[in-house]
Amino acid sequence: MAEVGPLWYERHQARLTARPRRRAVGAGAKHRFVFVDRLLATLVSLRHGTTHDVLACWFGVDRSTITHAIGEVRLLLAQRGCTVAPDVRLCTLAEVVEYLGADGRTGIVDGTEIRVRRPAAGRKDRDKFVSGKTKQNAVKSLVLTDAEGRVLFCGPVRPGSCADITQARQLGLAQLVSGGSFMEILADAGYQGMGA
């Protein structure tokens, strides 16, 4: 905070004085989202992958305020040398399985649903978005984490009617797991019968 705070304040003041103003600098609405909270929200987002909506609820501000704050603070942290380590970059499911199998790590796989607005009337695949489990319009994605809960892979978004096991089969998870070295993948009953 002692190093990044003054940098943020300088940038903030420079942005305020860089354009013609009708009011004096410092007039108008005050920040409810102070720098300490901005830094904390950024660190929580980077460490735990918490969504901006959840952070907005925690801090009592709008989601767009969180997004803007994280964009500002990440640049300052990067200038100070706090960046994502370049050594491990997992882009595909095959790379994730290889990473887990290298040291016999444990992975956790599950599907996650996100509610969406009902597709427009007349759209031919409108019923595909209704989830059988929640009886709501949703999209689903397959997520693979390590035992500590760090997200390693998030698959493509599918309509809510797609079953978890179907997503895993479409991504070729069974073939990737069976062809590599030993690893433990924990899954719920939605993956029974996958053959891996």
CATH of the domain at 43: 1.10.1750
Where does a domain end: 80, 115, 136?
Answer: 80
pLDDT category at 41 given cuts 50, 70, 90 is very high
Q: Classify residue 86: in a domain, yes or no.
A: no
Where does a domain end: 57, 80, 103?
Answer: 80
Q: Classify residue 196: in a domain, yes or no.
A: no
Tell me, yes or no, whether 76 and 97 share the same domain. Answer: no
Q: How many distinct structural domains can be found in the chain?
A: 2
Tell me, yes or no, whether 19 and 43 share the same domain. Answer: yes
| Average per-residue pLDDT for the chain | 81
Tell me, yes or no, whether 111 and 173 share the same domain. Answer: yes
Tell me, yes or no, whether 128 and 159 share the same domain. Answer: yes
Q: Classify residue 63: in a domain, yes or no.
A: yes
Long-range pairs, 34-43, Cβ under 8 A, ≥24: 35/1, 35/5, 35/8, 35/9, 36/1, 38/8, 38/69, 38/70, 38/72, 38/73, 39/1, 39/4, 39/5, 39/73, 41/66, 41/69, 41/70, 41/73, 42/69, 42/70, 42/73, 42/74, 42/77
Name the range with the highest mean pLDDT among 10-14, 21-25, 53-57, 170-174.
53-57
pLDDT digits (tens, 9 = 90+) for 102-138: 878 888 988 888 888 877 788 777 777 787 777 788 8
Q: Classify residue 43: in a domain, yes or no.
A: yes
pLDDT category at 88 given cuts 50, 70, 90 is low
Question: Which residue segment(s) compose the domain that 44 sits in?
Answer: 4-80
pTM score over 0.85: no
Mean pLDDT of 36-51: 87
Instruction: With a cut of 60, say whether residue 196 has pLDDT above it.
Output: no
Q: Classify residue 15: in a domain, yes or no.
A: yes
Tell me, yes or no, whether 113 and 185 share the same domain. Answer: yes
Where does a domain end: 58, 80, 102?
Answer: 80
Tell me, yes or no, whether 121 and 173 share the same domain. Answer: yes
Least confident of 69-73, 142-146, 171-175: 171-175
Q: Classify residue 181: in a domain, yes or no.
A: yes
Instruction: With a cut of 70, say whether residue 25 has pLDDT above it.
Output: no
